[in-house]
Amino acid sequence: MSAKTQTHKQDPMIGEEAPDFTLDGTNGPVHLAELLGHVVVLYFYPRDNTPGCTTEACDFRDMIHDFSEVEAIILGVSMDSLPSHAKFTAKYQLPFNLLSDSEGRVANRYGVYKQKNLYGKVSFGIERSTFIIDRKGVIRYVFRKVRVAGHVSQVKDLVSELVHG
């Protein structure tokens, strides 16, 4: 595992029950507690149709078969609206649910709603992060400040390892 894509092994959320939520998505509403029995890959991303977010979403799309084989569910979360998500999903043929966290409440509960500084402009938004949640609803892996290159492949490997022991 390279340093750029390494999980945060000391992250305080690892081993904790994943914070429950209900959010509207492109494939209907999602209540996390109803997904018990499945491994869930919950990835937070800053914005639809931006270069890094598009690459990440397309990487998940391109590996969806690997995740489906082990009955893992992919959920993407950003603060974008459902209409924005619908356009993004249609444009890139994304086969998983994108959830709208318009007020950042879920992002805040997962500790990914952060202050950002881009070219001297301070704002708040989602820091690209991924959580792998086991079948019992416990967070097993956390990636914060994700670098997109190679990330989804690493997530796929960890999900497979989690499912197959």
Per-residue pLDDT of 60-83, as tens digits, reads 999 999 999 999 999 999 999 999
Question: Which sequence positions are flagged as catalytic?
Answer: 53
Cα–Cα dist 86/25, whole Å: 9
Kindly state whether residue 86 falls inside one of the protein's structural domains.
Answer: yes
Per residue, what are the HEC states of 85-135?
HHHHHHHHCCCCEEEECCCCHHHHHCCCEEEEEECCEEEEEECCEEEEECC
> Domain range spanning residue 153?
34-164
Is residue 24 situated within a structural domain? no
> Is residue 6 in a domain?
no
- Paired strand residues for 40: 73, 133
Per-position pLDDT tens, the chain of length 165:
433 344 556 788 999 999 999 999 999 999 999 999 999 999 999 999 999 999 999 999 999 999 999 999 999 999 999 999 999 999 999 999 999 999 999 999 999 999 887 788 888 899 999 999 999 999 999 999 999 999 999 999 999 999 987
Examine residue 74 and state whether it is found in any structural domain, yes or no. Answer: yes
Q: Which two tokens stand for residue 40?
A: 């869930």
- Number of domains observed in the structure of the chain: 1
In a domain, 95, yes or no: yes
| Residue 122 forms part of a structural domain | yes
Q: Is residue 52 part of a domain?
A: yes
Residue found under tokens 């595992």: 1
Q: What's 105's domain CATH number? A: 3.40.30.10
Q: Is residue 144 part of a domain?
A: yes
pTM summary value = 0.92
